[in-house]
Amino acid sequence: MKVAAWDRAWQAIVTKGDTSWRLTRYGNSSQASFETTSAPGHHSLPGQTPLDDGQWHHLVGAYDGLAKYLYVDGVLEAFAPYADMLNQNDWPVMIGENAEATGRFFNGWIDEVAVYAHTLSPTQVMEHYRAGGGARLAASFNLALPNGIQSVDVSGILDPNGSFCLAATPSSLALPFLSLDKPQIVLARVAGNSPSVQVKGTLNTSFGSLAVSGSIPSNGDYSLLTEATGSLPMGGYNFDFTSALTLKPTALSGSGGVQYGSFTFNGAFSLPKTGDSSFSGSASGSTDWIHFGLNLDLSPGRPDANVSWNASAKYDGATSTFSFKRERPWKSSTNSATTTRPVLMILDSPQMASCRSPWATPPTRIRSGTTSIRSASTS
């Protein structure tokens, strides 16, 4: 593409309407942007190079389900973790105009447009740029990454102005904690700016595999993100996350929920570099006469979960509070009575309480102020 004039905001380069994806001028700036729209809203990924210099430029926007990339003249200029599903619309793909937001026509020249059903790798982008006549120097060297991350051999292009983009696709990449299968590593620098290292790959854990992507800063203290949603098996249950987990040099962590019986426990998951993985969550509920809170702890070393219950109830103006802890097998924390299901403390009178299963089994009795159980539910 070659700009004759940036004479209106958001001039279209290649667009799928205004509510899916588009390569456009970034507002009223001199840069281009890779714009996308998904359920959470609109997302901009602007470049850094001014394009209204009367020269031809090679522009690529890429999205792989984990991140967005914007390349200008073969160099990765912008990157952002982005795991949202793009909106679909019925507007046509247009070159030099936006069918959904008309009047944003491009003033200049556009040539050799291509839309792919797969994501171009950094190496492919560089090859396309050079095949189109882009003049850059070829280079390759060993990249020593910080903080104990495995070094890799990278290759790519250098520009006399100081810009460069070098990439590697080794079979694996060892991190201080865990490792990545089939990673893609990009070292890029736009003239006048600091270099950056971007990485994506498949993370191997004791629960299975997760796709991750993100940046590695100069000190090696990275924060790589997984896809936005997923499920991990833990101790016979599933930890479901609806926002990306974060991989740091010391732990993989995030928040989500575990379905346990009729309750959904929301809480925090952690897989540390040293020690056992864990999930700790809580659930709560109430009726006219009882309020209860529940805590759930999971770890893969246990064939079942630890659950603690706290309940308070009112009867004729009197309030009683009860606690119950499930260990394996089910039992109260101070006696040996056992059951196979969690129980809920409900007050029958100021002196007596019933112990009822959420699965509506017949109630059993415990004495107020003690933890002795006369009989135990086995349902």
Looking at residue 145, which CATH number applies to its domain?
A: 2.60.120
Helices (H) and strands (E) in the chain, counts: 1, 30
The reply to whether 74 falls in a domain is: yes
CA distance 327 to 308: 9
pLDDT band at 282 (very low <50, low <70, confident <90, very high): confident
User: What mean pLDDT is predicted for residues 79-100?
Assistant: 94
Closest Cα partner for 229 from 62, 19, 38? 38
pLDDT band at 135 (very low <50, low <70, confident <90, very high): low
Residue 316 CB coordination number (10 Å)? 7
Maximum average pLDDT range among 32-46, 182-196, 228-242: 32-46
Q: How high is the pLDDT of residue 174?
A: 92
| Structural contact between residues 78 and 45, judged by C-beta atoms closer than 8 angstroms | yes
Secondary structure element (H or E) that encloses residue 122, with its range: helix 122-131
User: What mean pLDDT is predicted for residues 47-54?
Assistant: 95
The reply to whether 180 falls in a domain is: yes
Question: Is pLDDT of 136 > 80?
Answer: no
- For residue 259, give both structure tokens: 């379905």
Q: How high is the pLDDT of residue 28?
A: 97
Please indicate whether residue 303 or residue 62 has the higher confidence score (pLDDT): 62
**Phi, psi of 329, deg, nearest 5:** -75, 175
The reply to whether 75 falls in a domain is: yes
User: What mean pLDDT is predicted for residues 277-289?
Assistant: 69
The reply to whether 64 falls in a domain is: yes
Q: How high is the pLDDT of residue 315?
A: 43
The reply to whether 294 falls in a domain is: no
> What percent of the chain has pLDDT above 90?
45
Residue 159 is part of which domain span? 2-216
Q: How high is the pLDDT of residue 271?
A: 87
| Structural contact between residues 341 and 294, judged by C-beta atoms closer than 8 angstroms | no
Is residue 6 helix, strand or coil?
A: coil
| Mean pLDDT value across the chain | 78
The reply to whether 339 falls in a domain is: no
Q: pLDDT per residue over 288-333, tens digit each? A: 545 556 566 665 544 445 555 555 544 444 454 545 454 444 333 3
Q: How high is the pLDDT of residue 62?
A: 96
Q: How high is the pLDDT of residue 297?
A: 67
The reply to whether 272 falls in a domain is: no
Question: Is pLDDT of 362 > 60?
Answer: no
Domain count, the chain: 1
Question: Is pLDDT of 91 > 50?
Answer: yes
The reply to whether 231 falls in a domain is: no
